[in-house]
């Protein structure tokens, strides 16, 4: 990897892996000992990196607050935050901060905007950023073509590619899919930034340690000037930035149901024929007068001097025990029958006289 001309550094490309690096780790302790890791900056949102899709979009609110304060494009801040969060979860021993990634992004391609390049809503840098041919001119490493021009477009010499300036051979080892589309693209900010984070952690180990941090940056570009330039930018970005509370998520849409239109039901009036009822003819009932002979009761008109012991016994019982309700009713019924009988006798006499 090499710096593009935003800062004039002698370009020394890192080795394909930490074990092949041209840097002797034992010498780093004495190399720029005054440089310490930058502060980690404003804490990252706790985004779930295992959810499907493009996770960088979940850093938008946080990224916009930093973009306004630090002058870094929102898409770039989203990429730096996403990569640091992925490493925080997958490799917590590394401790790489988003401020370190932003410091490198500023020096390598001015956060993906070198020479007027733009970043679209998907983090894609357009047009692609390409470094000068690594042809061995003074101060430039010589790296003959390794990809047949497939990635960098040069079939003679390799060139550094994309916003984080990877050379093709290094990209083939560390290239990572940072936006969840299943493809690693050096010209995509999210892919390139995550790839850089992985390379830095593998090169320096614990980047919270001064030696580890310096080792990682020098593995990216072995130059003290480069180390100091990245450090200066990262420290600038590490100052506190106020991030307001994110707005609440939008309420789910309310479903509107059109009222159902019901046609009124039309009922034909029912036609009922009037029923014809023949009047009933009732013959007057003819009742024959019944002639009742008057009954003669000897008991009611006893002969004088005739003593009826049963009647006397009943009377004695009434005197001794007192009349009861049933006896009173019977007496009244007997009197009523006597009156009725007398009335019938009179009626019969009257009818006989009329004949």
Averaged pLDDT of the chain: 79
Q: What does residue 118 show for φ and ψ, rounded to 5 degrees?
A: -120, 165
pLDDT at 147: 96
> Is residue 352 situated within a structural domain?
no
pLDDT tens per residue, range 100-127:
999 999 999 999 999 999 999 999 999 9
In whole angstroms, give the CA distance from residue 174 to residue 156. Answer: 23
Q: From the CA atom positions of the chain, what is the Rg in Å?
A: 60
Instruction: Evaluate whether residue 335 is within a structural domain.
Output: no
- Give the integer Cα–Cα distance in Å for 143 and 130: 15
Say how many domains are in the chain: 1
Residue 314 pLDDT more than 70? no
| Lowest mean per-residue pLDDT among 32-36, 84-88, 225-229 | 32-36
Q: What is the pLDDT of residues 122-176, one digit of tens each?
A: 999 999 999 999 999 998 999 999 999 999 999 999 999 999 999 999 999 999 9
Instruction: Give the model's confidence band at 318: pLDDT under 50 very low, under 70 low, under 90 confident, else very high.
Output: very low
Q: Is residue 91 part of a domain?
A: yes
What pLDDT score does 191 carry? 98
Query: Among residues 95, 122, 125, which one has the least CA distance to residue 110?
Result: 125
pLDDT at 336: 75
- Residue 172 lies inside a defined structural domain of this protein: yes
Average pLDDT score over residue span 212-217:
96
Tell me the pLDDT band of 17, cut-offs 50, 70 and 90: very low
pLDDT of 1 over the 60 cut: no
The string of pLDDT tens digits covering residues 174-184 is 999 999 999 99
In a domain, 341, yes or no: no
The CATH code of the domain that includes 83 is 1.10.530
User: Would you say residue 255 lies in a domain?
Assistant: no
- Tokens 């607050």 appear where? 65
Q: Is the pLDDT of residue 14 over 80?
A: no
pLDDT surpassing 60 at residue 258: yes
Residue 350 covered by a domain: no
Q: Distance (Å, rounded) from C-alpha 86 to C-alpha 69?
A: 24
User: Which pair of tokens denotes residue 176?
Assistant: 């990572």
Comparing CA positions, the residue from 118, 113, 117, 109 lying closest to residue 5 is: 109
Burial 134-145 (b: 16+ CB within 10 A, else e): beeeeebbebeb
Residue where the block lists tokens 């106020």: 242
**Domain assignment present for 188:** yes
The string of pLDDT tens digits covering residues 266-299 is: 556 565 555 555 555 555 454 444 444 544 444 4
- Tell me the residue range of the domain where 50 lies: 18-237
Q: What is the mean pLDDT of residues 318-344?
A: 65
Residue 199, CA distances (Å) to 23, 33, 215, 267 in order = 14, 22, 12, 83
Q: Does residue 16 contact residue 170 with C-beta atoms inside 8 Å? A: yes
Task: Confirm if 153 and 130 have CB atoms less than 8 A apart.
Answer: yes
């Amino acid at each position: 990897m090499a710096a593009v001309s935003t800062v004039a550094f002698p370009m020394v490309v890192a080795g394909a892996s930490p074990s092949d690096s041209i840097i002797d780790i034992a010498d780093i302790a004495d190399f720029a000992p005054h440089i310490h890791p930058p502060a980690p900056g404003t804490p990252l949102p706790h985004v779930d990196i295992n959810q499907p899709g493009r996770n960088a979009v979940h850093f938008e609110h946080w990224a916009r607050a930093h973009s306004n304060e630090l002058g870094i494009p929102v898409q770039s801040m989203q990429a730096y935050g996403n990569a640091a969060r992925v490493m925080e979860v997958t490799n917590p021993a590394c401790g790489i901060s988003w401020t370190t990634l932003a410091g490198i992004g500023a020096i390598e391609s001015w956060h993906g905007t070198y020479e007027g390049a733009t970043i679209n809503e998907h983090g894609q840098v357009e047009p692609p950023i390409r470094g000068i041919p690594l042809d061995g001119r003074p101060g430039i490493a010589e790296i003959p073509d390794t990809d047949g021009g497939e990635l960098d477009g040069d079939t003679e010499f390799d060139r550094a590619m994309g916003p984080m300036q990877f050379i093709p051979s290094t990209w083939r080892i560390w290239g990572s899919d940072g936006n969840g589309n299943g493809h690693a693209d050096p010209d995509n900010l999210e892919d390139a930034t995550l790839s850089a984070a992985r390379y830095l952690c593998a090169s320096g180990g614990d980047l919270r340690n001064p030696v580890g941090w310096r080792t990682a940056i020098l593995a990216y570009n072995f130059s003290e000037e480069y180390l100091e330039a990245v450090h200066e930018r990262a420290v600038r970005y590490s100052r506190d930035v106020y991030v307001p509370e994110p707005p609440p998520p939008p309420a789910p849409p309310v479903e509107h149901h059109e009222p159902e239109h019901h046609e009124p039901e039309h009922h034909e009036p029912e036609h009922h024929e009037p029923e014809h009822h023949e009047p009933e003819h009732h013959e007057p009932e003819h009742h024959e007068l019944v002639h009742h002979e008057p009954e003669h009761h000897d008991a009611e008109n006893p002969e004088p001097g005739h003593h009826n012991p049963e009647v006397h016994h009943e009377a004695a019982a009434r005197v001794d025990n007192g009349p009861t309700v049933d006896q009173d009713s019977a007496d009244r019924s007997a009197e009523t029958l006597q009156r009725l009988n007398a009335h019938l006798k009179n009626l019969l006499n009257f009818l006989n006289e009329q004949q």
